Amino acid sequence: MKQLFILKEEIGKIQNAADIFKKVKKININFEQENFIVFYLNTHNVVLGSDVLFKGGVDACLICPKTIFRNALKNNASKIIIAHNHPSNNLTPSYEDKDVFEKLKDAGKIIDISVLDFVVFNKKEFYSISEAL
């Protein structure tokens, strides 16, 4: 009798920040400026999609929470993970990075979209704010 199906690990399932970093490395961005990326996940942490939503200068990037959550809703996401690079290559999250993360988490609670992590990265390394807590 032939086997009808084979159970495999879910494609795109995120288990930790290293998984996000692997996905980030596949996105073509200009590392000379800040790029703000949002990953949209379902309830099982499977990536539904991602966007480079905002681009900034060498040391700042303005974001719009309304745009982040509007896109999350369009993607039918239950969770999101945000990531952005530091052109300086310094992985230490700024005060602003931590503040944005907390504000987005609070906003997400209102509409039942969990903000799981904020990953700061450069070409070779990453720092997860959630894993550091």
The top-level CATH class assigned to 19-115+126-132 is: alpha beta
The number of residues making up the chain comes to: 133
Q: What is the DSSP string of 36-84?
A: EEEEEE-TT-BEEEEEEEEE--SS-----HHHHHHHHHHTT-SEEEEEE
What digits encode the pLDDT tens for the residues 117-131? 999 999 999 999 999
What digits encode the pLDDT tens for the residues 50-103? 999 999 999 999 999 999 999 999 999 999 999 999 999 999 999 999 999 999
Q: How far apart are CA 50 and CA 39, in angstroms?
A: 4
The pTM is what?
A: 0.90
Give the start-to-end residue ranges of the domains of the chain.
19-115+126-132
